[in-house]
Amino acid sequence: MNHRRAAWPLLALVLIAPAASAESRVERGRYLVQSIVACGNCHTPQGPQGPIAGKTLAGGLVVEDGPPYTAISANITPDRATGIGRWTDAQIATAIREGRRPDGSLIGPPMPIDLYRDISDADVAAIVAYLRTVKPVRNKVAKSTYRIPLPPNYGPPVGKVPDVPRSDKVAYGRYLAGPLGHCIVCHSGPKDNGEPDIENKLGTGGMVFPGPWGQSVAANITPTGLAKYTDAQIKTIVTTGVRPDGSRLKPPMGVPYYARMSPADLDALVAWLRTLPPR
């Protein structure tokens, strides 16, 4: 037997097999949900001491309560009676990216569907795969109440959405701050109706968020607002909630989630922030 020739198939398998450290779909979904997407920031009910133990992603948090609407987060655990356990993967993906439940009803604000429409096919599949693995929690929550008309839809059905290459730091940072993290929703100045004006006031801040913490105001994250900070300081602020002068960020900034962001993602986010028009 020619032992050199017999070794070739094995060598070929080694060369073409995926790396053992490759990220699985569930691992990618866990990372996204628990870091930049920060689903629990709205979908985990809160008590006086923070997130209520045993109710991760079980909904019931009053996210916004004002004249236009009272928005209460949904239970997105796999509980079959009160959560999304009876929904198909495709139905969950449609709810995330198109804002439509299996019964045809529309998910209203502040769920940032306009941005979620651009989450890539691979990432929305990863998020769905991870949500299937979380602990089902029986928690029936009240429905949101809207005192404004909702649109009939958020646009045509979402087609194929490719991945954004991580090798392009600025493009991937834009993806992190937009479709995934929706940072630009909170950090863009408001229109006359109070909604963020992403088109004209991208990154300028000024949105006001009242809550048990008192009142917080979104910062200007354009180069005008960040000029006094180094890249390393911006990363520290995002992941610890502490500014160089010792002052702390207030909710709803999801610092406990952003603390789990990878160094590469933080690099990309800062690279994109530096490219914003100074305002």
| pLDDT over 80 at 255, yes or no | yes
Mean predicted confidence (pLDDT) in 184-195: 90
List pLDDT tens digits, range 53-88: 999 999 999 999 989 999 999 999 999 999 999 999
50: pLDDT confidence band, cut at 50, 70 and 90?
confident
Evaluate whether 242 touches 223 at the Cβ level (below 8 Å). Answer: no
The SS3 of residue 198 is helix
Lowest-pLDDT range of 40-54, 168-182, 218-232? 40-54
> CA 242 → CA 113, 127, 173, 183, 202, distances in Å?
30, 29, 22, 18, 23
Structure confidence at residue 106 (pLDDT): 97
Alpha-carbon dihedral sign for residues 87, 92, 98, 101: positive
Tell me, what DSSP letter sits at residue 107?
Answer: P
The SS3 of residue 242 is strand
Evaluate whether 37 touches 44 at the Cβ level (below 8 Å). Answer: no
What mean pLDDT is reported for the chain? 92
Domains of the chain, by residue range, sit at 23-163, 164-279
11: pLDDT confidence band, cut at 50, 70 and 90?
very low
Structure confidence at residue 144 (pLDDT): 97
202: pLDDT confidence band, cut at 50, 70 and 90?
very high
The SS3 of residue 66 is coil
195-209 b/e (C-beta count within 10 Å ≥ 16 → b)? ebbbeebbbbbebeb
**Beta strands in 81-161, from DSSP E residues, in sequence order:** 145-146
Any residues with CB less than 8 A from the CB of 18 and at least 6 apart, and which?
none
Evaluate whether 70 touches 60 at the Cβ level (below 8 Å). Answer: no
Structure confidence at residue 21 (pLDDT): 52
Structure confidence at residue 195 (pLDDT): 86
Structure confidence at residue 35 (pLDDT): 98
Task: Give phi and psi for 153, each to the nearest 5.
Answer: -165, 175
Q: What fold does the segment set 164-279 form as a domain?
A: Cytochrome Bc1 Complex; Chain D, domain 2 (1.10.760)
List pLDDT tens digits, range 89-128: 999 999 999 999 999 999 999 999 999 999 999 999 999 9
Q: What is the pTM assigned to this prediction?
A: 0.90
